[in-house]
Amino acid sequence: MLRDYQFDIIDAIRNAHVEGDSNIVAVMPCRSGKTVCMSRLASECNDPNIAIAHRQELVSQMSLTFARNEIPHRIIAPDVVIQGITALHHERLGRSWWRPDAHTVVASVQSLKNSDVDLSKMKLWQTDECHHLVNGNTWGRVIEQMPTAYGIGWTATPIRLDKKSLKRGRGGVFDRLVTGPTMRELIGRGYITDYRIYGVPNALNMNRVKVTCGGEFDKAAAHEEVKAARITGDLVKHYERLAPDMTAVTFAVDVELAHEHAQAFKDAGMPAAVIHAKTPGAERRDVIRAVRGGSLRHVVNVDILGEGVDFPACEVVIMARPTMSYGLYVQTFCRCLTPDASNPGKVGVVIDHVGNVVRHGLVDARRTWTLDTPPKRETEKATLAIQVCGNEACMQVYESFEPCCPFCGWERLRGDGSGGRERPEMVDGDLTLYGPELLAELRGEVARIAGDACIPSHLDGRAAAGAEKQWRNRREAQTELGAVIDKWAGHWQETRGESIRALYRRFYLTFGMDTLTAMSGSAKEQREMVLRVVGDMGL
């Protein structure tokens, strides 16, 4: 049975198709049941249709979901993969739903290149992790072979590291984007596990690591930086202190470091396994089965257990791989957020050794998605809003809007002892820490605008009228901005119970200036700020 929000997004997709848009991006958070929605749409299609993934684990997971919903389907993959998937059907469901002549097809994108499937007959295609799909790449060439089909691309993060657009005519293939609920909404309803984050102090200096033309850290340079920072020893130490005996997945830069990390766990008496792209499929399945069965607590992986993998046994994510990719960061983070019926009350734990959380922000921060690539990185604002507690006994991550750590009360003091704390940038716009002279200056200008017009005595006639008109325009803009700021503050007080001090900081870190400076700007500046504040509230 579908959940209400799954019905809603399917309806939104249908409406978009009815209104003439052929290819739709459907955005839902990780762990929200995108594959379940895919299976429902496939079951309703009486014509040839195909669901595509890009790794055998995801093809297997997709096939199992289709089988649970009793959808006969053909699998396009190497024979050994098909055998493993059908065995999984029998193991989990008591029978297989694989049918070599079924009109529904589940396939890996790579296997389609050499298959006998006539893609031109397809009337519906669906892809998981559709942010991979642009014109000219492997995905794009496959989609080109289905010119008469409707398309649905599913993803949690419709953004590419190389900043290419997903929109038709601009390098992509999609016509419209529809969105489901937010991650925080689903956490509140219990469909996604809540989490705790620990930011481990490290000596990483990613400023020394070059970024490739694709937008990611150079892997060889990242390897050297992680080695130099001696993160491996910290993995075990902090796991034992923060999440002992919990099932953990570590994400490593490469195979060499993965084996080094796993050996550190073994040396501490904790069995660990390594899986990566060249690990045989049967061995990968045996490792996952051992974790699910409870006989193995640690898996170190390289690019395997990220995107789309349903892994409810995972309780802890250990980040040992720095990334510039917001999408990869979210997928990595969310491995520990799948509810587990055998573990009621589960709370996922993320131990970040490489600064990814500070780099990208909280995974459940509100974001506005678009098919076009925004002029700035979507994560830029969120990056400003994250603080790692400086108390080494705590090390939890929280939003910088909080004046002190909500977990232990630690407060970071800024300033250099020479009056620097009076400057807005030194205290994140916290008005309670402004010096009296600065406060008097800012408040005086705000009051001057809000008061009666003060027309210079040397002006008369048309000049005086013009000055009064200019003052009135500025006062009206100030009144409008004040009302919008009050509404914005009320939203955060109602939804988060934030203090006035926290609101001052939130405003500064969100909009780049404190509230008093905003209220003392020109009429044009204040009206521009009105639009920004309204936009932040999603109105």
One-character DSSP codes across 413-450: ----SSSGGGSGGGTTT-GGGS-HHHHHHHHHHHHHHH
Please tell me the distance from the alpha carbon of residue 413 to that of residue 404, in angstroms, as a whole number. Answer: 10
The amino acid at 513:
M
Q: Give the residue from 163, 220, 185, 173 showing the smallest Cα distance to 32.
A: 185
The whole-number pLDDT of residue 378 equals: 42
Residue 71 burial (CB count, 10 A): 19
The whole-number pLDDT of residue 379 equals: 39
One-character DSSP codes across 223-274: HHHHHHHTHHHHHHHHHHHHSTT--EEEE-SSHHHHHHHHHHHHHTT--EEE
Residue 151 burial (CB count, 10 A): 22
The whole-number pLDDT of residue 458 equals: 63
Pairing outcome for strands 397-399 and 386-388:
antiparallel
In the structure encoding, which two tokens stand for residue 101, read together? 């002549």
Q: 76 vs 41, 117, 431, CA distance in Å?
A: 19, 8, 62
Q: Which domains does the chain have, with CATH numbers?
A: 4-181 (3.40.50.300), 187-399 (3.40.50.300), 420-536 (no CATH)
Please tell me the distance from the alpha carbon of residue 455 to that of residue 465, in angstroms, as a whole number. Answer: 9
In the structure encoding, which two tokens stand for residue 6, read together? 């799954």
For residue 146, give every residue at least 6 positions away whose Cβ sits within 8 Å of its Cβ, in sequence order, or none: 50, 119, 120, 122, 125
The whole-number pLDDT of residue 427 equals: 78
The whole-number pLDDT of residue 422 equals: 59
Would you give the distance in Å from CA 131 to the centre of its chain?
13
3-state helix, strand, coil in the chain (%, to 5): 45, 15, 40
The whole-number pLDDT of residue 414 equals: 57
For residue 85, give every residue at least 6 positions away whose Cβ sits within 8 Å of its Cβ, in sequence order, or none: 59, 60, 63, 64, 75, 77, 98
pLDDT below 70 — which residues of the chain? Answer: 307-308, 373-385, 413-422, 453-461, 464, 466-467, 538-539
The amino acid at 115:
S
For residue 312, give every residue at least 6 positions away whose Cβ sits within 8 Å of its Cβ, in sequence order, or none: 338, 339, 340, 341, 343
The amino acid at 285:
R
Exposure class string for 36-62: b at 16+ Cβ within 10 A, else e:
bbbbbbbbebeebbbbbbbbbbbbbbb
Q: 437 vs 171, 180, 271, 500, CA distance in Å?
A: 54, 48, 62, 21
pTM of the predicted protein model: 0.81
DSSP three-state, residue 150: strand
The amino acid at 428:
D
Between vectors from CA 210 to CA 207 and to CA 216, what angle results, nearest 5°?
105
The answer to whether the beta carbons of residues 284 and 57 sit under 8 Å apart is yes
In the structure encoding, which two tokens stand for residue 270, read together? 């904790």
The answer to whether the beta carbons of residues 296 and 290 sit under 8 Å apart is yes
DSSP three-state, residue 350: strand
The whole-number pLDDT of residue 385 equals: 67
Please tell me the distance from the alpha carbon of residue 170 to that of residue 168, in angstroms, as a whole number. Answer: 5
Residue 142 burial (CB count, 10 A): 20
The whole-number pLDDT of residue 382 equals: 41
One-character DSSP codes across 354-374: SSHHHHH--TTS-----SSPP
